[in-house]
Amino acid sequence: GNLKVTGPKGSTVVFGDGSGEPVHMHIKTKHAERAISFDPMLAVPEAYMDGELDILEGGVLGVMRIAFQNMGSGGIDATWSKAIEGLRHAFRRLQQINTASRSRRNVQRHYDLSGDLYRLFLDDDMQYSCAYFEQPDMTLDEAQAAKKRHIAAKLRLKAGQTVLDIGSGWGGLGLYLAKAFDVDVQGVTLSTEQHGVATDRAHVQGLQFDLKDYRSLNERFDRIVSVGMFEHVGVNHYRTFFDKSATLLKPDGVMLLHTIGRSGVPWATSAFVRKYI
């Protein structure tokens, strides 16, 4: 790559073989310099957010491109930072102990922000999970609509069936399924803000969205769908999630689970993602 780093005293160091688009970062404070030397994967984005680091050339994408291209290639990332990430991996199961009360706190911290914030970058239906771009020139709204159609097709819905939406968010998927397929949808979420928005939207169609943990439910459903919620369950609670889902699903029922996975071995989530996302 082609990276230049200017320190707080004004001296500049050049890294890489000179190939690719140039990237130039300016570390403005000694505090940021120390933090980056200790834990760059967390400290670089924090310093950028706090105004202690400027990207003079190449932009954020350029910095990220160089970081990913050089992961595991040696230097700080392969020694000190690798040890830090190893400790994070060792303790990740402790961090993923999600009791009912802890689950609610985690959800409130992430989702109980104003819906106006999420409307700035989500589609009109407020789908907070990856879209399905059947065609590369689709808009975000079109791709999210395609995602909902794809989910519905896999659920093989029939009019009059009962559907449980675990982690129903702002209600968009449940509202779509109810309107398009004449099914009875019940959604559950732990976010007060999401529940309020979903309930306001649901009044139009007479749907039910509940502010409760899925583990407290006792009814049985023809279909269960869960999109973008399983990431919050935690490894220690996978068995609980699937056992409970099995008891909530009728013997001839269908469940669809949509989640983010990885093709490699399990590892700790990025420190920045875990702290801020």
Domain boundaries, the chain: 3-90, 100-258
User: Could you list the pLDDT tens digit for every one of the 277 residues in the chain?
Assistant: 899 999 999 999 999 888 889 999 999 999 999 999 888 889 999 999 999 999 999 999 999 898 888 776 554 444 445 554 554 554 555 455 555 555 556 665 666 677 788 889 899 999 999 999 999 999 999 999 999 999 999 999 999 999 999 999 999 999 999 999 999 999 999 988 889 989 988 876 768 899 999 999 999 999 999 999 998 888 888 999 999 999 999 999 999 999 988 777 766 677 888 788 7
* C-alpha separations of 28 from 48, 54, 263 in Å: 10, 7, 38
Query: Please, are residues 14 and 54 in contact by the beta-carbon 8 Å criterion?
Result: no
Reply yes or no on domain 100-258 having CATH 3.40.50.150.
Answer: yes
- Residue 150: burial class (beta carbons within 10 Å; 0-12, 13-18, 19+): middle
Tokens encoding 243: 């056992």
Q: How far apart are CA 155 and CA 202, in angstroms?
A: 21
Helix/strand/coil (H/E/C) assignment for every residue in the chain: CCEEEECCCCCEEEECCCCCCCEEEEECCHHHHHHHHHCHHHHHHHHHHCCCEEEEECHHHHHHHHHHHCCCCCHHHHCHHHHHHHHHHHCHHHHCCCCHHHHHHHHHHHHCCCHHHHHCCCCCCCCCCCCCCCCCCCCHHHHHHHHHHHHHHHHCCCCCCEEEEECCCCCHHHHHHHHHHCCEEEEEECCHHHHHHHHHHHCCCCCEEEECCHHHCCCCEEEEEEECCHHHCCHHHHHHHHHHHHHHEEEEEEEEEECCCCCCCCCCCCHHHHHHC
Residue 225 CA, distance from chain mean position: 17
What is the widest separation between alpha-carbon atoms in the chain?
A: 70
pLDDT on residue 80: 47
